A = this chain, B = another copy of it.
Amino acid sequence: MNEKTKFALRGLKWFRWVLVPALVVILLTRATPALAAESGPDPVLRGLNTVWVLVTAFLVFWMQAGFAFVEAGLTRAKNTTNILFKNLIDFVFATLAFWLIGYAFMFGNSAGGVIGTTGFLVSPSGAADVAGVPLLAFWLFQLVFAGTAATIVSGAMAERTKFSAYLLYSFFISAIIYPISGHWIWGGGWLAGLNLGAGFKDFAGSTVVHSVGGWLALIGAVILGPRIGRFGADGKPKAIPGHSISMAVLGVFILWLGWFGFNPGSQLAADGPNADIISLVAVNTNLAAAAGGLIAMILTWLFVTKKPDLPASLNGVLAGLVAITAPCAFVTPAAAIAIGAVGGVVVVYGTLLLEKLKIDDPVGAVPVHLMNGIWGTLAVGVFATENGVSGLITGSADQLLVEAIGVLAVGVWCLLTGGILFMTIKAVNGLRVTREEELQGLDLHEHGTQAYPADAVAG
């Protein structure tokens, strides 16, 4: 037995430290998968809604691949392994963190409207249905949303963040930051209960998911500072193109597809009038995406790069998708086009603004998810029809005010906790790789590998 083998065997011993706590957890959750009796609703109806929730959850899971490919495509080959790894592992962390505590903080019985307190180590044993579907179907749907919020951050902080730092903040975002503000809005917390003539509305998460990811992306990018070479000595910005537009396009197509799960799935039901709502939501989602892509293409063509610009158009599509996420169930198709079109404007000028401020966001996560998350949430106040069924552009001042309060509250929460989180990691673990590592690439230094080794590519 050589040295390497001996050393490797230590791993098996070490694994006891995983196995023993795991067994403890299992015993703690001595819950049985007792299947809920067919009480209450028609079993076929319950089955239909479960199928809808599960299939749309699968589509939202698929968005993880979309984020991975958009981010990898828009960054350099020397950091490809690193960014793909982050996008894989953050969903691993989100899954386990949400199971341990995240779901409980978000959807448990509320402590003063601030945080949930029940539902740790989720288990189907004796669980009541949620929203007419089995608890675990609802849980999976919420988990893939939590995963989305966490993964947004990786793009803005790409090409310079330590892998270990990423693991740390990825865990805290999925386990604590996202679930708590989520609790305020979707978990029965204080924002959900707020009523100033109108209640806060965010149908599928322009604020709950995208703005949260976007705020954390922003504060992270600011604390990290720009990549070497992104701004010249004279302060002039210098574009750093990504290594594969093909991967970025694949990512956007995946995200567009996934959004058909994200938005229509959020209704959590498909029968009767729900069928009308999910159809409206699907159509609105698609119209806004198209309008965002079109306007971003036209604006950059006429006023920015003077050519039809594919990365800008891709972000335009994503901008439209983020913007329509909050209002998709409350507005008409015509309004969805308007919301998406404004999203396209926001993303083009938001990108220029960030550059002006010398904030380096390699993939445009802040203009896409934060700025359009805000725009989409406010758009509920502008375009929402009364009761979701009558009138048009009734969007009252009341509604707009409540939406603004929600945007603000979530912003303060994220900047505060995100600031503390990133500063603490910076102090304790370090947040950024060394200059040498950044120049040579994170793949080589962090993972001892290359995404496309010359030997293997040459044959």
Contacts and interface: CB of A to CB of B under 8 A. Distances in A.
Interface stretch (A135-143, A182-190, A213-221, A399-407): A135-143
A34 to B, nearest CB: 6
A324 to B, nearest CB: 13
Given A92-B294, A249-B84, A290-B91, A275 B332 contact: no
Contacts of A46: 271-272, 275
Q: Which of A48, A304, A393 has the most CB atoms of chain B within a 10 A radius of its CB?
A: A48
Oligomer: number of copies: 3
B302 A14 contact: yes
Interface in A33-51: 33-36, 38, 42-51
Given A124-B276, A332-B31, A290 B96 contact: yes
Interface stretch (A203-211, A428-436, A441-449): A441-449
A417 B80 CA distance: 42
A310 B449 contact: yes
A387 to B, nearest CB: 10
A437 interface: no
Given A22-B337, A26-B393, A47-B272, A246 B11 contact: no
A95 B286 contact: yes
Interface residues on A, range: 35 or more
Contacts of A261: 58
B122 A76 contact: no
A134 B45 CA distance: 18
Interface in A381-431: 385, 388-393
Contacts of A338: 19, 22-23, 26
Interface in A278-333: 278-280, 282-283, 286-287, 289-291, 293-295, 297-299, 302-310, 313-314, 317, 331-333
